[in-house]
Structure 1
Amino acid sequence: MSMSKLEQQGRREFLKTSATAAAVTVAPGVMLHTMAANAAPRSEAVTDKVRWGMLIDANKCADGCNDCVNACDKENGLDLVNMPEGADEGLWERQRPRWIRQVKLKDNLSGKVTNLPMMCQHCEKPPCVDVCPTGASFRRADGIVMVDRHICIGCRYCMMACPYKARSFIHAEVAEKLTHAPRGKGCVESCNLCVHRLDNGQATTACQEACQHQAIVFGDLNDPDSAVTQALKKYPSVQIRADLKLNTGVRYSNI
């Protein structure tokens, strides 16, 4: 029996409401992720008219603050992974998957210590893409560097090639994962600038939203009016390992 127009409208409203609900378990080990009410899936192909990137002000990164790391873990399901029974806690913390790491830089001349988050730098010319034998590591037209888990063979060449140590390898089976961030044993993964958000009409990353000190400015580097472009014009910035001439999408100020 076909549905009436009223029934169809009610069903559409129900589905719309369901899409904005909190994350729920839809199957063992799989959770449905929350979507913003005003988010809309991408309807056009990605182009190079946009280049996503961010500016991080190291002066605003407070010592001991891990808000961006915790937000990234929660956003991508990394917090669902538990330390294996009997494992060494120190070794686990060093080897567990991390898409953002908090690092400290010390100036040998002045002794100044700078704290900053380190993630995939989303290079214009990514070394990880150059060495990948299967094409699993790739760069989108909008500047986001990603890993296709369907064709990643776990060779880890990309991890060796990355000068920022920004990639992690999944050593064990993943019991729980989010639908928008599938993860599996034997694959490499790294920061993707919350691509699931960008492809659904949003324009912020989880780390930017979580930063209480407003140290992270994210946006379109090709848009002269975007917040990140204006910030780059206003404040001097640097690339990590600028000598490699990779033209990174992530820049830092005050380091």
Structure 2
Amino acid sequence: MTMKHQEAPLDPSLGSPPDPTLNAGPDQSRRAFLGIAAGATAAVVAPAFVLQAQAVGNPRAERVSDAHRWGLLVDTNRCVDACDQENGLDLQRKQPDQSEAEWDTQKAVWLRKVKLQDNLTGRVSNLPMMCQHCEHPPCVDVCPTGASFKRADGIVMVDRHTCIGCRYCMMACPYKARSFIHEVVEDQLTRVPRGKGCVESCNLCVSRRDQGLDSTACADACTALGHRAILFGDLKDPASAISQALRTMPSRQIREDLDLNTGVRYAGV
């Protein structure tokens, strides 16, 4: 397959059964993650934000552990999402002096649609593309301050208190899954603080994880429409719905050749 809109092509060898190593623990010998660089080049640190708890469940009382690895299975034939509303991206506003072209390139997008076409059959698929929550994330490797990090439960995130806006992570991400905030964010949600000078991307609705909830906005939107085009769950739990689905239907990683062991898998591509 080839990917439209200048996206990297899918590896034709990806049509394989679910990765048998998916539930295996991280192989630390394969990747040495960068720590916080004490001697990093001086830069202007983006403003810190005060986090306010939202009463949507019982706040997390214990440390995040590697007992779980959260992930998504996306059926590209049946996909909707409520990502923008959940994370406040629908509150973005075009600046008065911005052209439409500039706004289209600078507004934050956590989940975008990529069109794929099979050159042999002509079949076209619309692929929802977000942070793939890699087991070995390139964005973490290149971050000079440790702002890009992977939690013990596999969720890849950005710490806005230490992000200096260098955008190395954006260049390193093979999925173009991260956005840079160019303007002051006046309207935002307390559970998802956002601000000028920081990088951001899909975090699997991490505020829900830390309130003890076991869903994402996109998965909930699919369920509300009466289908399960997006499954969210624990990849380490063999009894979870996502693990059972991965055992019964063909799925693939995007750019499997990079050996990143992504937490997001696709069926129907």
Q: Letter of the 2:175 partner, please give it.
A: Y
Number of residue pairs aligned between Structure 1 and Structure 2: 217
TM-score, normalisation: structure 1? 0.81
Normalized per residue, the structure richer in helix is 1
Letter in 2 for 1:118: M
Q: Is 2:201 aligned against 1:190?
A: yes
Residue pair 1:217, 1:228 contacting (<8 A) in 2 also: yes
CA contact (8 A) 1:76 1:178 kept: yes
Please state how far the C-alpha of 1:59 moved relative to its aligned partner: 2.2
1:239 aligns with 2:250: no
Query: CA-to-partner distance for each residue in 1:129-165, whole Å, 9 max, x for gaps?
Result: 0000000000000000000000000000000000000
Provide the residue aligned with 1:48 in structure 2.
66
Matches within 5 A, 1:63-82: 67-68=80-81, 71-82=82-93
Sequence identity of aligned pairs in percent? Answer: 65
SS in 1 for 2:114: strand
State the Cα distance separating 1:74 from its structure 2 match.
1.0
Aligned to 1:22: none
Alignment partner, residue 218 of structure 2: 207
TM-superposed CA distance for 1:32, in Å, is 7.8
Which string of whole-angstrom CA distances, capped at 9 and with x for unpartnered residues, describes residues 35-69 of structure 1? 44xx21111111111000010011223xxxxx41x
The structural deviation recorded for 1:214 is 2.3
The answer to whether the 8 A contact 2:51-2:193 is kept is no
How far, CA to CA, are the matches of 1:47 and 1:33 in structure 2? 21
TM-score (norm 2): 0.77
Task: For residues 138-193 of structure 1, give each alpha carbon's deviation from its aligned partner in whole angstroms, at most 9, with x where no partner exists.
Answer: 00000000000000000000000000000000001111111111111100000000
State the partner residue of 1:93: 104
- For 2:217 and 2:55, the matched residues in 1 are separated by 13
Distance between the aligned counterparts of 1:34 and 1:206, measured in 2? 16
2: CA distance, partners of 1:234 / 1:103: 26
Checking the alignment, whether the CA contact within 8 Å between 2:106 and 2:181 is kept in structure 1 is no
**Which residue of structure 2 aligns with residue 145 of structure 1?**
156
Letter in 2 for 1:222: K
Change (3 A) 1:157 1:31: closer
Say if 2:263 is the partner of 1:249.
yes
Unaligned 5+ segments in structure 2 are 1-49
- Provide the aligned C-alpha RMSD in A: 1.7
Which segments of 5 or more consecutive residues in structure 1 lack a partner in the other structure? 1-29, 62-66
Contact 1:51 1:143 in 2 (8 A): yes
1:82-121 matched pairs, under 5 angstroms:
82-121=93-132
CA contact (8 A) 1:33 1:178 kept: no
Please say if 1:127 is aligned against 2:144: no
Q: Bigger relative contact order, structure 1 or 2, given CA contacts below 8 A and separation 6+? A: 2
> Which structure has the greater CA radius of gyration?
1
Q: Is the 8 A contact 2:54 2:190 kept in 1?
A: no
**How many angstroms does 1:124 deviate by?**
0.2
Counterpart of 1:85 in structure 2: which amino acid?
Answer: P
